[in-house]
Amino acid sequence: MSNVYIKTKVRSGKEAMKYLGKYKNKTVLIVCDKFMAENGSVKTVINAIDSSCRIEMFDQAVPDPTTEVVGNGLDKSAKVQPDVVIAFGGGSAIDTAKGIIYFGINSGLMKKPIFITIPTTSGTGSEVTSAAVITDVESKSKHLILDNDILADIAILDPTLTLSVPPAVTANTGMDVLTHALEAYVASGANVFSDALSEKAVQLLLESLLVCYKDGKNLEARNKMHEASTLAGMAFNTAGLGVNHSIAHQLGGTFHIPHGLANAMLLTRVIDFNCEEKQILDKYAAMVYKVKLASITTRPQEAVKILKEVIRMMMAAMNMDDSVEKFGVSREDYVSQLDNMTENALKDNCLNTTPRKIGAGEIRQILLEIYKTF
């Protein structure tokens, strides 16, 4: 039996922000980071909200949002009791808002608000998922929250918001989209619905990512990439993810490697591990055929080889670090955290839907392999 639950209404296009004007006489809490607040970007949201609404702001979102930041946001939310919460920014701002809503509802400190997500990067897919990742600073680990209460009611996809995203961020977030789509495609929870979402996400991503990296002002390419991100988010919200994300969460929590970059470093290694089972190899090959990277007459092993070559080519074209060493982490520091990262990866909820069973020794080996590129 195939199941799919898509709650979020998506408004896409350069006029999508106008939807905010429908809310009247509401208390609205905008969650963003200080950069968005100080550079005036958030005014795009404020100007679209009806003047009858009371607007409050929490601008403390940070990369890899922490339990402390979420707690501060919950204090703010408990005081203002918002009717509407708007998350404006990248995945970190959206996850911060989700954390506030999750803990607020479960603690009884706030009622469930209308939740609107407005992503300004194309990568996390967080605008349409029931997941949030919060970092525990003390344990240096990332924890995944899964709850339908944090699914957005509305996602607003305005590609004009992404036109100023720097090339490096475009690269990292784009590879995050690719990882989401590929992991969802082979995940144990995959079905005909999630497969269709993954396939379209990969198609749009391959058409747009390098264009966006080279020409960030290309609105058509930005729109494709924005929609690819959301499609991939819908896919993994249905199918789940896998060990790629379980390990990437630890690399981010421990060494602050950007999430999309960590995923990219891991992607071909995880594909190799998964493809030791023929059924999974055939599924990766099916994606290659679907997005026309190779003809259907190509042997599955060769098709997967082409997929890995495309991933490496894209990373090289976007000047992405392909190893932890190149990112700047010393071997001594890295080795000292191997046991902790392995242990936390095994506890990560993304492992619940990984297509092939994996143990501590295999996770540790993958971590060692991505330290240095030979």
The CA distance from 324 to 151, in Å, is 33
What distances in angstroms separate CA 3 from CA 130, 236, 239, one per listed residue? Answer: 15, 13, 9
Pairing outcome for strands 114-119 and 154-157: parallel
Output the pLDDT for position 1: 62
- pLDDT averaged over 10-residue windows placed end to end, the chain, 374 residues: 80 94 97 93 95 97 91 96 97 95 96 97 93 80 83 96 95 98 98 97 98 97 97 95 96 92 98 98 98 97 98 98 96 96 94 97 98 77
Q: What is the pLDDT of residue 303?
A: 98
Sign (positive/negative) of CA torsion 36, 40, 41, 45?
positive
Q: Measure the CA–CA gap between 171 and 169, rounded to whole angstroms.
A: 5
Q: State the alpha helices, DSSP H only, in the chain.
A: 34-38, 43-48, 67-80, 91-107, 167-186, 192-214, 219-239, 243-255, 259-274, 278-290, 300-317, 324-327, 331-336, 338-347, 360-369
Q: What's the chain's length in residues?
A: 374
Q: Vertex 316, ends 255 and 221: CA angle to 5°?
A: 100
Distance CA 160, CA 86 (A): 18
Per the listing, tokens 């407005």 go with 118
pLDDT computed for residue 140 by the predictor: 65
Structural domains of the chain sorted by starting position, each given as residue range(s) with its CATH number in brackets: 9-161 (3.40.50.1970), 167-369 (1.20.1090.10)
pLDDT of amino acid 327? 97
- Its pTM stands at 0.92
53's CB contacts (< 8 A; 6+ apart) are 23, 24, 25, 26, 27, 28, 84
Alpha carbon 305 to its chain's center: 25
Q: What is the pLDDT of residue 246?
A: 96
